[in-house]
């Protein structure tokens, strides 16, 4: 009996530490750590597109040239012509409707000072005289890039004016235009200097009853300054 009781005691004693080590049934569970979220990536920087050396936005061109002008008319068997070396000037203000495509208002003129006047083959020159053609129209310019070469066309309302000894006479308003082909070189982010060949024309009826029609043609080599 004692051996049986002792054996029973010995069998119970080794199990006591394990029983004491077990957590009480009412103890709270061990805390579970939540995973740390990875930081979100920084937004990509916004790329800034440069407009330097491009034809965008506001447009301004000023030009000054030297060339030749000829205006002629016929009436009642009499032929008239007025011609001479001339100077041209122009200013166009507008903007790009698409890259390299420009629309602008263009005010321009070309005039010959002390021109030669011919009536049926008889030629004379008045020192205090000038013959001019001026126009106002809508300019369309297209640039071929990266060469920076352009073609420019300006259909216009035009007037021819003859001045002799301070007395001026104008034709009626007629149709004409200005055409140019040029090349520009950048001298800044938005400024360019250029050289262009220009052609001018105008068709105008004179004043008075049964007026003759004056046909005016001109050409010039022009220097230009352009902001765009």
Say if residues 55 and 206 touch (Cβ distance below 8 Å): no
CATH topology of domain 58-227: Porin (2.40.160)
126: confidence class by pLDDT, cuts 50, 70, 90: confident
pLDDT at 9 over 60: no
Q: Where are the domains of the chain?
A: 58-227
Interval 76-105 mean pLDDT: 96
pLDDT at 132 over 70: yes
What pTM did the predictor assign?
0.77
Interval 106-130 mean pLDDT: 92
DSSP labels for 96-160? Answer: EEETTEEEEEEEEEEEEES-EEEETTEEEE-SSEEEEEEEEEEEEEEEETTTTEEEEEEEEEEEE
Phi-psi region of 120 (alpha: psi -120 to 50; beta: other; left: phi over 0): left
Lowest mean pLDDT among 12-26, 77-91, 103-117, 152-166: 12-26
């Amino acid at each position: 009996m004692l051996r049986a009781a002792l054996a029973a005691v010995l069998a119970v004693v080794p199990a006591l530490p394990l029983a004491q080590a077990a957590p009480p049934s009412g103890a709270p569970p061990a805390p579970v750590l939540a995973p740390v979220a990875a930081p979100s990536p920084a937004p990509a920087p916004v790329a800034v597109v440069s407009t330097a050396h491009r034809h965008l936005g506001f447009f301004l061109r000023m030009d000054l040239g030297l060339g030749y002008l000829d205006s002629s008319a016929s009436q009642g068997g009499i032929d008239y012509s007025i011609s001479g070396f001339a100077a041209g000037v122009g200013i166009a203000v507008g903007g790009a409707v698409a890259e390299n495509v420009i629309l602008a208002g263009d005010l321009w003129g070309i005039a010959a000072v002390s021109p030669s006047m011919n009536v049926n083959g008889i030629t004379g020159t008045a020192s205090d005289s000038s013959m001019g053609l001026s126009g106002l129209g809508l300019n369309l310019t297209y640039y071929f890039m990266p060469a920076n070469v352009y073609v420019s066309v300006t259909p216009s309302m035009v007037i021819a004016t003859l001045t002799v000894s301070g007395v001026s006479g104008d034709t009626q308003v007629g149709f004409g235009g200005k055409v140019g082909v040029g090349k520009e070189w950048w001298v800044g982010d938005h400024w360019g200097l250029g050289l262009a060949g220009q052609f001018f024309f105008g068709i105008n009826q004179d004043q008075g009853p049964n007026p003759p029609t004056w046909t005016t043609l001109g050409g010039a080599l022009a220097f230009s300054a352009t902001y765009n």
